[in-house]
Amino acid sequence: MRLGRILHPQLAHALATLGHSDILLVTDAGFPIPADANRIDLGFYPGSVDVLEILRVLRQELFFDKITMASDVPAFNPQLYRDVQGIFTGSGADFEAIAHQELIASVAPRAKVVIRSGSLNPWANFAMVASTDPAAWFKEGMTPLPEYQERSRRIKENVIPQLG
């Protein structure tokens, strides 16, 4: 047994296939997942497994450049927005908001992996762009690209992510 690691074999395998710039989509129970998606279904019954629980675990497993959510989240589900901010504080990831319909029509079909939760939390759908650990790739004496310098700063300073 892998203590402190994801036990679900298909999920562990799918996450291991992600590379820089691949999209991982975590959805609520009702999100219309494309038929041909690499779908990992964790929805067991209403509310379980919750999307926030999934995001907390993924935050410990992977690095992300960007977290995209529906633009409705801050206004219509502010607690969800605060919870997601808390999860990704110090991650270095940028937050981005787009129309919910765009998340469905344009982002979901491009996702390499889609994880469906059992969450009944409105607008609890998050597209996350996989990245790398800037500290692991850029050693002392090397000059990282400006976006990696900025991510490294946000990680070191434990910055709370905000929608721009």
Task: Give the catalytic positions in this structure.
Answer: 20
The distance from CA 103 to its chain's CA centroid, rounded to whole angstroms, is: 13
